[in-house]
Structures are given as C-alpha cells and as structure tokens.
Chains A and B, each alone.
Chain A
Amino acid sequence: MSAAAADSVSADAVHAPEVRLSGIGKSFPGVIANHDVDVTIRPATVHALIGENGAGKSTLMKILYGVQKPDEGTIEVDGTQHSFRSPTDAIAVGIGMVFQHFMLADNLTALENAVLGAERLHGIGDKARAEFESISSRYGFGLRPDVLVETLGVADRQRLEILKVLYRGAQVIILDEPTAVLVPQEVDALFANLRDLRSHGHSVLFISHKLDEVLAIADDITVMRRGTTVGEADPKTATKRELAELMVGSELPSPETSESTVTDVVQLSLRDLTLTDEAGRDLLSDITLDIHRGEILGIAGVEGNGQAELVETVMGMRRPTAGRIFLGDEDVTTWDTRRLRESGVGYIPEDRHRHGLLLDSPLWENRILGHQTRPPSVKGPWINRSGARKDTRRIVEEYDVRTPGIDTVARALSGGNQQKLIIGREMSGDPVLLIASHPTRGVDVGAQAAIWSHIKRARHDGLAVLLISADLDELIGLSDRIEVILRGRMVGTFDPARVTPQDLGAAMTGGNA
C-alpha cells in the first residue's frame, strides 16, 4: 500500500503548517481539564499525544479543533495566532479531526458522506467524484465512491473519515484513539496510510494510550498527565517503561495493601461465562474466576477488551449467553440488577455521571439511588426522607465529601467528591461484594488516597472486590491477585507482589514487552 504512494509525492505534496499550542488552560466546573499545555506539531510528522484516560488529551484536541474555547493560552499556526470559534475556523487553516466515534450517515454512499457539508468546495457532481477518487488513490485508501456506508467495515469507515477531512483540505489531521476500534492487521494498514500522508507532507496528531503503537508510528511524542504536558520523548530512544513512567508519574501516592486478608470463602464465582452480541461475536469468552471474601481481584486490560461487558454481566445489566454466576452459594445468573444489589452487591460504575448519579438531584436523593428497596432510604413502598437524609449526613462526614450540605445537587460537586459520595453509598448496607470500575478515574490525588484506604478497610472487613482499572499501579498496589483480560478472554494470572507493569503490559497486548 505504501509503495503506491511514493511515485506521486512531489506532484501532490502539501505543506502542512507548524502548529504550536502554548500555555493552554481549560477548566470545567469542578475540574481542571487542561493547564499549562505546550505542544508543537512539526510539519510533515506523526506526532503522538499519549496519556492515561482523563489526562486531558481529548479536551486539548477539542480546543485545537475549535470545539471548545481555551480559557487561556494561544494557538499558533505557522507563526500566526488564531482563535477558533468553531471547527469551521480550524478547517479553514487546514486542521481536521477524526473523532473516536465516527460521524457518518449509514444510509448515504461514501461519496455523499464526503461531500455532505462541503458542497461548496467541489460541488456535488463529477468534480466532487474526481476529487474523492483522487484522494482515495493517492493515499491508497481503496474506497469506492458509490458504496453505501452501512456496508463498510470499521477500518473502511475510518479511512472514509480521514478522506472526509482531506477532502476539506486538511493538512494537519487529528486522530482521536484511532486504533481503539481496530484489530492488529487493520492497525498495520492504518499506519501505512499515515506514513503515506506524512510522505505527502501532511502532519498527523495521533492520540493514544497504547505505547507499542506510539513507538511504531510517531516521530515526536508528547506525554500528558493530569491535565498538563509533562514531557516529550524521542521514539527512537525511548522505551515503553520510560513512557509509562512519564504517563503515570512518580508523585502518585502508593496504593500498597498490607498483609493478606484473603479467606477461603468464595464470594463471587464465574463459571465459563460467555457473552455474545447481536452480530454473534463473543464479547466475553469462557470466563472462569473466583473472588474470596477479603480479596481484591484486579482485572488488567487495554480498554475495550471486555471489562465493561464483564461488569455489566455480573451486575445483571446484561444476560450472559452461557455460563453461570454464583454469589456465595446462590446461582444468580438470571437475577436482575435490583435483586443483586439487594443481596449486597455494591457497584462503583466506570462513568459516574451516566451510571452513578442523578446530577440534578440533591445529594440525599442520590443516596437513595441503587438503594431504593433497602433501609434507611425506604420504609416499605415509601421513601424514608429523614432516614435517607440522616444517612447522607453520615456519608458526607465519614467519607469527607466536601459540600455545603446534603441539599446541594450532585452536579455542583467536584469529581473526587462525587466519587467519595458514591463509594460511601455503595459501602452502606453491609455489602458482600463490591464491583469497582476505575474507582479513582478523574479524581484528584487526595481523593484517590482516601478512596484506596476505604477499599482496603472494607477488604479487611471481609469484602470481596472486583477491581477494574486502567491504572496499573493501582491494580498492582491494591489487588491480591491480577487477571489479565484480552479480547474477552482471561489470558493470565499474576501475583501483584512480583509482577511489574511491563509484564502486565505485555500480557494485556498479547505480545512481548
């Protein structure tokens, strides 16, 4: 694929501008998404921006693409300062973006999708078709203009998205986690496309948290952590270990657990659990695992390898296609979420805004959520307002939720305080099992330490915990045992006392470090 491109380099070469972001800052209510961010994208390079989830990469990209306005800092394109009010302004200076979730109309053809919204450039007739075909062949995309988008696979859709931004004259292309949706062969093909783009003079800003890929494709690497750029690395000399250290940072408090409190009593047991989607693909395959009372089982894996599905299946939000789930001695495979919660399953969801809170409701009503059938929130079919309020006050105090009162709406709290409220709530009513999905994602360091100590204390008291996290240090520090999940399968068990992040990383990607 890359061979085809070499011949036409000089004829079609573009000259991507140098893009320089300096001192970018952006805060949302309760969260500082970006501060003091400095990135320079040199012309005709692939520039990788890496960092953990919540490090502020996506916000930065939205700022560069004009979706959001920065609170402070400047964007310079070839030395001229710009302030983008909308993506249209960004496209006008040659910056285009492909989002992680594709924005294509399924019922239109590839050509129609490319032209849609850009009719003024090349019309909608033969000129548009010629331009489409010329881009497609120049970069080896192999896209046919008249194919219906609904018949295209993920990789072709992605190429179409890239074609769309090229069609609009983009010279700098932002790709938000483009490989998250691709299988390895497709990743190779994408990288060949990106190299073609580079050799034609385009710049690519490549966002990822997969270190192998970054080292394979990037010319420059910028690392972000907790909202700011913390370093740059040369992919020729940098190792994955160095990058990982930059991403995670050394300032983090250690989540180290003390002596083992693992008992012999199995609290949660999964037997050959399989989940198949409508298209017949296995999201989870034959997962078998046990969690004992007083044990924290950590699940490591690159995001999108079945963690969310595993949690939703155990929580009764999805029904497994095959296999059994046991809670203690009881077969709970067919139980619904409410019944599971009533029997003592606590749940810290991955996305607290979508799954954990009623953002516009006061804290004391949020205390009831998920506990609608248990005291102190209810009395029979009635809501026990005073009971719920009293218990909310207890949580606010015990879990150090910083709020002016329990009538404040959840939305007004910072991420860390929202999460502390959720943890306090889920620890209420003597849970026997806690499903904790990224419990410290997007919370500040202080809240993180507090959350870790709450989880450790509950474990000491006999709680069984299923911990899913993208933060390997958190997994290693908290877990009694780590299982690695890859494409919906458990592919390895590790002892956190001896494993290194590098070993885990290798198992998570199914290859060698």
Chain B
Amino acid sequence: MNTLKRIGFALLAPVIAVLIAMLATSIVILASGSDSSAGDFWSVILAKPENRIMVNIINQTSMIYLSAVAAAIGFRMGLFNIGVEGQYTLASYTAATFAGAALLPGAINVFASLVIAMAVGAIWAGIAGILRTTRGVSEVISTIMLNSIAAILVGYLLDQYGEHGGNQVRTKALHASSQVPGWVPFEDRDGAIWTLGLLAVAVGIGFWVLLNKTRFGFDLRATGLSQTAAVASGIKVNRMVLVSMLLSGAVAGLIWMPAYFGSAYTYGTTFQAGLGFTGIAVALLGRNQPVGMIFGAVLFAFLSAQSNSLVFQTDISPSVVQITQGVAVLAVVIAYELVRRYRIRLEQRSVARARTAPAQEVAA
C-alpha cells in the first residue's frame, strides 16, 4: 500500500464523521423550529473568525491538545484514564497556589510551578494506577471517583486558604515577574497567544517520538494491542500501567498552565473546567494519534469559539455545537471501524495474490 493511499485511508473516517456531524446538526436546527435556518448557523460557524476569536481558537487548541495527549497516553495501552479532569483541576490549583506564593523569583518560579503541576497530576493519576495494579480496581471507576474527590478537595482548600473578595475566592495573584503573557498578533484588545501554548507543541512532539521511536513506546502500544502477547514478549504489564498512568497524569497537570501564566494569573473563577472531558473526545476523534489529535483539537476549539457569535447573529443557542462535537466523536468511532475492516479485506486480497507468486519476488 503506497503512502498516498495510506493517508487517504487515514483521512477517510474523520472526513465522513465531520460530514455526518454537520448533517445531524442541520437536522436538529431544522427540527427545533427556530427562526434561523441551518444555513444561518453554518454561515456563522464557517465564517472567517474575527481576530479576537482567532487568538482564542489558538489558545484553546493548545489546552485541548494537551488534554487529548494526556488521555491518549492511557488509551494507547488500553487504559481508560477518565480522570484527566480531576488531575488537571488539582494540579492547576496546586501550581497556582505555589506560583502565587512567589517563593522563587521570575522564570524559575514558572519552571518550578510547571514541575509541581506535572507531579500533582501524576500523583493523582498514580493513585488509580496503584489501585489497578495492586487491587485490580478498574481505572475507569477510580479515576471518575477521583474527579469528584479532586473537585471537592480543591473547593475546600480554596475556601480555607484562598483570598476572599466579594463572593469570589481565588488563589494569591501571580507576581508580575512570573507572568508569561505571549505574542499579540493583532491589536492589544484582541488578546495574546500564550507563550506556554508551546508546551502543547513540545508535548505533541514528545508523544510522537515516545510512541514511534522508543522501546517504551513500542511496549506501550503492544500492551494496548494485545495484553497477552505483551506478557509473552516480556513486558511487565503492571509496571506499564503504572508508568503510563503517571505520564498521563503529568501531561494532564500541564493543561491549564498556558492560561494561568498567560492571562489568568490566579486560580478562581478564571479556571476553565471541562477540558479533561473535551480531551477524551478529541483523543477519540484523532484516533490517539499525535497528528490526528491536532486536527481534532483545532476542530473543537474552532467550533466552540465560533459558536459565541451565534448569540449576536442568530437565535440558535451556542450549545448546539456540542451536538456537532458529540456526533462527530460517535460517528468517527463507527467510521474508523468500517474503514479498518475494509482495509483488512483489501490487504487479505493482496496477500492472496502474493501467495500465488514466487516468494523471491515478494521479498524483493
């Protein structure tokens, strides 16, 4: 199978899924009997983003992508870390508290906070990993429960130790010397693209290298593809479970860091919740592939950001795009399976042809 065909197959499923999602959304808008038509909806969504929204899309993409990678590390070895949400919530709070305390100066403070965020995320995920390897507790159950625990814990700690102002609570604000705002591509009022969004680029490259170029990545993929074959090949599955949970949690810890150091400067109402679940959806959409998830993250960020304009230009609720996102994920899972089966049939046919040919030609 040549490269072109390979790429074609890889794109086939997501393209089908997105088309189905667009169709389903249009049907919902039609059925809802709103004054605006599906055409209005798509003309708003597919319009060229305003500068402000463009910046927003890029910033959101970086955080969604980090979240998707965190989920994908687990998914690639058949480990369902549904707890990205809890891991980054707790990590964000802890890192924000540490950074706000300004124990270290300037850039060192930023660096140390990132390490702390990763460590907290890893520890929180590691709890599920240890429960799984020592007690056989399904990581799906434990991570979901840890999500709730993290939310309650952060709420309590923030209330106890945060700064109360009006009816809001937040962590101590970040000192100006540790702020990492970013690059302003348009006007100042359109906002800045956060520098730490580059973390997503680094993590993406790291994930790709890890998966495809390292022994560890091979072991990880092998365990995901067939645990029994992995054991027979000498992989210690329990160790892999623990290490990938820690890695997954560490990446999860970074999710909100670009926003914190870029514009939020404090953990409070500014915290953006829900990215952990978005990441899971994007990981599914991108087939847990480093490159595929970029497209998934851009798509989700684009739809969410553009949907804000719906309020001004139509009477369609912005939450309609969640239907588009949801259907896209569902459709892509089905479409991938269909494409996979079709590919196997094609390969089997080409194998059958090869069997009749002499082996030498085949080897050459």
Q: Residues of A at under 8 Å CB distance from B? A: 29-30, 315-317, 336-342, 347, 349, 351, 354-361, 365, 368-373, 378, 381-383, 385, 393, 396-397, 400-405, 407-409, 411-414, 417
Contacts and interface: CB of A to CB of B under 8 A. Distances in A.
- The main secondary structure of chain B at its interface with chain A is helix
A86 B233 CA distance: 38
A497 B362 CA distance: 40
Interface stretch (B155-163, B273-281, B343-351): B343-351
Contacts of B1: 407
Interface of B: 1, 212-219, 221-222, 225-226, 228-229, 231-236, 344, 347-348, 350-351, 353-355, 359-360, 362-363
Contacts of B215: 372-373, 378, 381-383
Given A30-B348, A404-B353, A336 B359 contact: no
A383 B212 contact: yes
Given A30-B348, A349-B232, A404-B353, 6 more contacts: A315-B232, A338-B233, A338-B236, A361-B225, A393-B363, A404-B354
A342 B235 CA distance: 12
B231 A317 contact: yes
Contacts of A341: 233-234
Nearest to B209: A382
A347 B232 contact: yes
A402 B362 CA distance: 7
A313 to B, nearest CB: 13
B214 A360 contact: no
A369 B360 CA distance: 25
Contacts of B231: 317, 337, 355
A405 B362 contact: yes
21 contacts: A337-B232, A357-B226, A357-B229, A361-B221, A365-B218, A372-B215, A372-B219, A372-B222, A373-B234, A383-B213, A383-B215, A383-B218, A385-B213, A397-B363, A401-B359, A403-B362, A404-B350, A407-B1, A408-B351, A412-B344, A412-B351
A29 B348 contact: yes
Contacts of A403: 351, 354, 362
B362 A396 contact: yes
B3 to A, nearest CB: 10
Contacts of B362: 396, 402-405
Contacts of A411: 344, 347
Contacts of B359: 396-397, 400-402
A355 B218 contact: no
B229 A369 contact: yes
B217 A383 contact: yes
B354 A317 contact: no
B244 to A, nearest CB: 16
Contacts of A408: 347, 350-351
